[in-house]
Amino acid sequence: MASAVKFDQFSEDLGLGVHDLNADTLKIVLLDAAPTVATDAVLADLSEIAAGNGYTAGGNTVANNAYSEASGTGTLTGDDVVFTASSGPIATFRYAALINDTPTTPADPVICYWDYGEDVDLADGETMTIDFGASIIEIA
Amino acid sequence: MSWLYQPLLAAAQQQSGGEPQNLTLTADAASFTITAQDAGLFVNRVLNAEALIIVIIARPATLIGPDGPDLQSRSSGGSGAGISIGLSIGI
């Protein structure tokens, strides 16, 4: 079970109204280098893998995202995200980051990321599912 | 969050043990079939067919007891309906 690591910038962006976690388009992007939570603020700061063979630049969308609150804890939920290599391998990755694709200023602000623990080589036809379980992140 | 890596059936790897001979992996809509000769087959990868997840481990012949092959299979997460698993190890 991989724990989400929150970007520092996300805390600021929440207070400034950058995110509408109910309505915005959230995406999972695959990375080949560890993010820097203290300074990475937008997708362009991250080391996203090259597009191709089933991976689209900017990542895959988290469908049906929803944000709610109970007993003081905000919970973001959404459908699992699946990456499938096709016509060749997807570029080696290790990290998956959640970003918000909707805002334009700043463009594509970051939210959090997960570490697989080792490099992953997804061969042609293989899949990697990002299984969020009961929630993507919780904000207490 | 958890990661679910689903390799192809054909990508199943030997991760330890000796080299099996004539290892073949086949599958159709209803079943998997793994056949191998000699000892030391150790397949420890998640094999996925539709909604069924199967992990199959066959230990080396040197560990086989008097009751026959020490063969374990486990399945979870599938609907189960109409799905059968065909498994044979020739030693």
Number of domains in chain A: 1
Q: What is the ipTM of this complex?
A: 0.77
What is the three-class DSSP state of A50? coil
Q: Could you report the per-residue pLDDT of B70-83, keeping only the tens digit for each?
A: 333 333 333 333 33
Q: Distance (Å, rounded) from C-alpha B86 to C-alpha A62? A: 37
Structural element, H or E, at residue A8 = helix A8-15
Residues of chain A neighbouring B2 (CB-CB closer than 8 A): 1-2, 131, 133
Question: In the predicted model, what is the mean pLDDT of residues A2-7?
Answer: 90
Structure token pair of residue A67: 């944000």
Contact A127 B1 (CB under 8 A): no
- pTM for the model: 0.66
Q: Which two tokens stand for residue B76?
A: 């979870």
Q: What is the pLDDT of residues A75-97, one digit of tens each?
A: 999 999 999 999 999 999 999 99
* Minimum Cα–Cα distance from A117: chain B residue: B3
What is the DSSP-derived secondary structure letter of residue B77?
A: S
Structural domain containing residue A33: 5-139
